Chain A
Amino acid sequence: MNSKSADEHKYLELVSENRNKILRVCRVYAWNSADQDDLYQEILLQIWRGLSGLKEKQFANTWLYRVAINTAISFVRKRATRADRVIHFEHAELTRAIEARQTTEEVNDDRMADLYRAIYKLDPLEKALVTLFLEDLTYEQIAEATGISANHVGVMLHRAKKKLSGLMMEATK
């Protein structure tokens, strides 16, 4: 196997193993399906560009979150300067999807919708911390992924979780 196809193989393996993680990050930062697809592609592009910087596979998890979160924050900032910043239908789409479903997952979907509604109201850094926390990373791993000191991660995450729970309670009322 030559170097190029080895890289391609490594890349495809990494992407398929972590596809759901990437999709969840996309869903946090992009508010409609078109934006989610754009962000997904953008993250895959950055993973491909930075692949040579990933030395050991054991560090892939944190490395991948770094790439995804960085790309997502940059994506949100760029979108924020565009004219379509307000036309985000996710809330409406989500609500419509929930209303349309009559399955046993209905209750979970409802809670999920509340969680996303609350997450959307966080700022980009809080979103990053909450996402990584929900992805089950430790404070040290979050600190490593974001470059924020572990102490600050604790403080900021505590504040973000408090805000999140308040927003979720507000949404369920």
Chain B
Amino acid sequence: MNDDELKNLWQQQSLRAPEFSPAQVMSAIQHKTTLLRRCLDARDIRELLACVIAIIVFGFFYFTVYREPISRVGDLITIGSTIFIGWKIVHTRRSHPPAAPGATVVESLRAELNSVRAQSRLLGSVLWWYLLPPTIGMLIATWGLPIHLHGKISSTIVFLAVDAFVYWLNRRARAKQLLPVEAQLESLLHSAETGEPLEETHVANLRPTFLPMAAAGNLEPVEFNVAFWQIALYGEIGFVGFWFFLILSLAIDNKEWKTNAPAAQTSVQMITTEEANRYSVAARKVADLMNAGDYAAVQKLYDAEMSKAFPPKETIDFYTRLAGFGSIEKIQGPIADGYHGWIAFRLQCQHGELTMSLALDTDNKISGIHFQPAPKAPLTSGSLIREMIRWRHLLWLAGFFMGGLLYSWVFYKITQRSVGISALGVHLLRVQGLILWDEIKEVRPLRILNIRSLWLIRESGEKTIMPWSSLERHSELKEAVDSFAPVNHPIRRYLSQLKRVR
């Protein structure tokens, strides 16, 4: 066929009429233009919204929670970093707009390549502009806080772990998505500018794969979900783990509960039995009057100087506030040196323990009295466990457990149809796409806990993970692989790992 015949054939081909009237096209286009504008605006709004949220959260910390100057500097660095990040993303996107619709192919490819390169650079340098600045801010804010060292170390570990994960995700996205597109565009542009043929490796997937008619009926994949309990196993480990570390850090940091001071023992001060009796009687008297609510009578036990310093009204107010501990059930002591070296007694009240330090004059009048919440037992692994499994904390555990189930359920729903098997190959989640049977050169197992996955390895060495023993309906999975996978395909070796079926 010569050129003219070919052109003639081309011009005369019958074409399927599109199913839109001019008016419908117009309306659809206007709708689409609005959507496009909304979409562009939404992306910018999303970045700005993230900035606003960071400003509100860290601004709140700045003005209310963290009053320490160093922490406040950290808050300011974090706020500044977030604003910088938002600006950088929006600025990069806007400084590389797509070519105008009427641009030539070469201009259009160049504009697209510039945009992809900018995105690629952005992802490649994510450590310096996206991760490091806010992390420095948050670390300064954390280490400037008057919290326990354990809390600071665990927060630092969490921040660094999250950063490492985000860094890995970005590097992966760059390598898997942007670099191939960049290479493809470079190849197209190079060919257009020099007239040289395209580099085949970069453009191979721009062509359709042709299938024989016989295969057409088997293209619809048989789909499989990952079983809910398999997802829940990991979900629950994660959520219960969160609970454990949260409660552990709360228990360690709970100043009211533990003390590093040694427990109060018997008196270290050598006092005579007579002295001890004298103080015990006075302490008993004070306790009885407190239990009776007769605070005015307590005031009458004070010596002249104390009475002057603490007149009846102040004394009544003071003991009324102290009544929050409930009635005194037991007095122990004298136990140790108390406040200012006075004689101390342990008061076991209904709602806690108090240490009462007394000083008596020679007439057995109270010349000094001091109350403070009693120090608790020292930190031991036993007491830590007891503190952690208090009913209040166990209630939280129930909440976290339910949270784990909810998370697993949501994850289960969004991973539905996670694997499909067809005559073409293995269909994975949309983002990962389809791997043709012939593309899979090697299959290797990966076992975590009792769940086995498979690495599908292409000739290029690119590895893709595929759930295997976690998939539901093992008998149907076996049948699908048996029917569709080519004979001697390496995936068949792993059929025996599926649950034995009747």
Asked if residues B10 and A115 are in contact (CB atoms below 8 Å), the reply is yes
**Which residue on B lies nearest to A112, using beta carbons?**
B13
Take A91-B210, A128-B105 as given contacts and tell me if A23 and B26 are in contact as well, using a CB distance cutoff of 8 Å. no
Asked if residues B106 and A23 are in contact (CB atoms below 8 Å), the reply is no
On chain A, the residues within 8 Å of B100 by CB distance are 50, 53
- B108 on the interface (CB 8 Å rule)? yes
| A81 nearest CB across to chain B (Å) | 7
Asked if residues B207 and A8 are in contact (CB atoms below 8 Å), the reply is no
Asked if residues B12 and A108 are in contact (CB atoms below 8 Å), the reply is yes
Instruction: For chain A, residues 84 to 128, give those with C-beta under 8 angstroms from any C-beta of chain B.
Output: 84-92, 95-96, 105, 108, 111-112, 115, 117, 120-121, 123-125, 128
| A82 nearest CB across to chain B (Å) | 7
- A10 on the interface (CB 8 Å rule)? no
Asked if residues A47 and B101 are in contact (CB atoms below 8 Å), the reply is yes
Interchain CA distance A80-B202 in the complex, whole Å: 11
Instruction: For chain B, residues 1 to 52, give those with C-beta under 8 angstroms from any C-beta of chain A.
Output: 1, 3, 6-7, 9-16, 18-20, 22, 25-26, 28-29, 32-33, 36
Instruction: For chain B, residues 86 to 126, give those with C-beta under 8 angstroms from any C-beta of chain A.
Output: 99-109, 112
On chain B, the residues within 8 Å of A54 by CB distance are 102
Take A66-B102, A70-B101 as given contacts and tell me if A87 and B29 are in contact as well, using a CB distance cutoff of 8 Å. no
Interchain CA distance A11-B29 in the complex, whole Å: 11
| A117 nearest CB across to chain B (Å) | 8
Take A76-B206, A146-B105 as given contacts and tell me if A86 and B25 are in contact as well, using a CB distance cutoff of 8 Å. no
Asked if residues B106 and A147 are in contact (CB atoms below 8 Å), the reply is yes
Asked if residues A125 and B191 are in contact (CB atoms below 8 Å), the reply is yes
On chain A, the residues within 8 Å of B103 by CB distance are 66, 70, 147
Asked if residues A87 and B430 are in contact (CB atoms below 8 Å), the reply is no
Interchain CA distance A120-B188 in the complex, whole Å: 17
Interface residue count on the A side (C-beta < 8 Å): 80
Take A124-B188, A148-B192 as given contacts and tell me if A24 and B13 are in contact as well, using a CB distance cutoff of 8 Å. yes
On chain A, the residues within 8 Å of B276 by CB distance are none
B183-213 vs A, CB cutoff 8 Å, 1 = contact: the mask equals 0110010011111011000010111111101
- B72 on the interface (CB 8 Å rule)? no
Asked if residues A48 and B33 are in contact (CB atoms below 8 Å), the reply is yes
Asked if residues B106 and A85 are in contact (CB atoms below 8 Å), the reply is no
Cβ 8 A contact of B112, one of A46, A74, A159: A74
Interchain CA distance A27-B436 in the complex, whole Å: 25
- B382 on the interface (CB 8 Å rule)? no
Instruction: For chain A, residues 143 to 173, give those with C-beta under 8 angstroms from any C-beta of chain B.
Output: 144-149, 151-152, 155-156, 159, 161, 165, 168
- A139 on the interface (CB 8 Å rule)? no
On chain A, the residues within 8 Å of B432 by CB distance are 83
**Which residue on B lies nearest to A72, using beta carbons?**
B105
**How many residues of B sit at the interface, in one of the four size bands?**
35 or more
- B461 on the interface (CB 8 Å rule)? no
**Which residue on B lies nearest to A148, using beta carbons?**
B192
Take A53-B101, A70-B99, A77-B181 as given contacts and tell me if A86 and B112 are in contact as well, using a CB distance cutoff of 8 Å. no
| B200 nearest CB across to chain A (Å) | 8
| A13 nearest CB across to chain B (Å) | 10
On chain A, the residues within 8 Å of B15 by CB distance are 20, 23-24, 27
Name, among A23, A87, A95, A151, the residue most crowded by chain B CB atoms within 10 Å (CB to CB). Answer: A87
On chain A, the residues within 8 Å of B108 by CB distance are 70, 73-74
Asked if residues B22 and A95 are in contact (CB atoms below 8 Å), the reply is no
On chain A, the residues within 8 Å of B207 by CB distance are 120-121, 123
Asked if residues A12 and B206 are in contact (CB atoms below 8 Å), the reply is no
Asked if residues B181 and A105 are in contact (CB atoms below 8 Å), the reply is no
Asked if residues B9 and A108 are in contact (CB atoms below 8 Å), the reply is yes
Interchain CA distance A78-B338 in the complex, whole Å: 78
Take A27-B15, A41-B28, A125-B198 as given contacts and tell me if A83 and B430 are in contact as well, using a CB distance cutoff of 8 Å. yes
Asked if residues B10 and A77 are in contact (CB atoms below 8 Å), the reply is no
Asked if residues B33 and A123 are in contact (CB atoms below 8 Å), the reply is no
**Which residue on B lies nearest to A64, using beta carbons?**
B102
Asked if residues A89 and B105 are in contact (CB atoms below 8 Å), the reply is no
Chain A interfacial positions (CB closer than 8 Å to B): 8, 11-12, 15-16, 19-20, 23-24, 27, 31, 33, 36-37, 40-41, 44-50, 53-54, 63, 66-67, 69-71, 73-74, 76-77, 80-92, 95-96, 105, 108, 111-112, 115, 117, 120-121, 123-125, 128, 133-136, 144-149, 151-152, 155-156, 159, 161, 165, 168
Extra inter-chain contacts (8) besides given A85-B209, A120-B210, A148-B105, CB under 8 Å: A83-B433, A105-B14, A111-B9, A125-B191, A125-B198, A134-B10, A148-B192, A156-B195
Chain B interfacial positions (CB closer than 8 Å to A): 1, 3, 6-7, 9-16, 18-20, 22, 25-26, 28-29, 32-33, 36, 99-109, 112, 177, 181, 184-185, 188, 191-195, 197-198, 203, 205-211, 213, 216, 219, 424, 427-428, 430-434, 436
Those 4 A-B pairs whose CB atoms lie nearest each other, nearest first? A147-B104, A50-B101, A147-B106, A152-B195
Residue contacts A-B, CB under 8 angstroms, 20 given: A23-B16, A23-B18, A31-B208, A41-B28, A44-B25, A45-B36, A48-B33, A49-B33, A67-B101, A82-B430, A85-B433, A91-B211, A115-B6, A120-B207, A125-B105, A125-B191, A128-B105, A133-B3, A134-B10, A136-B11
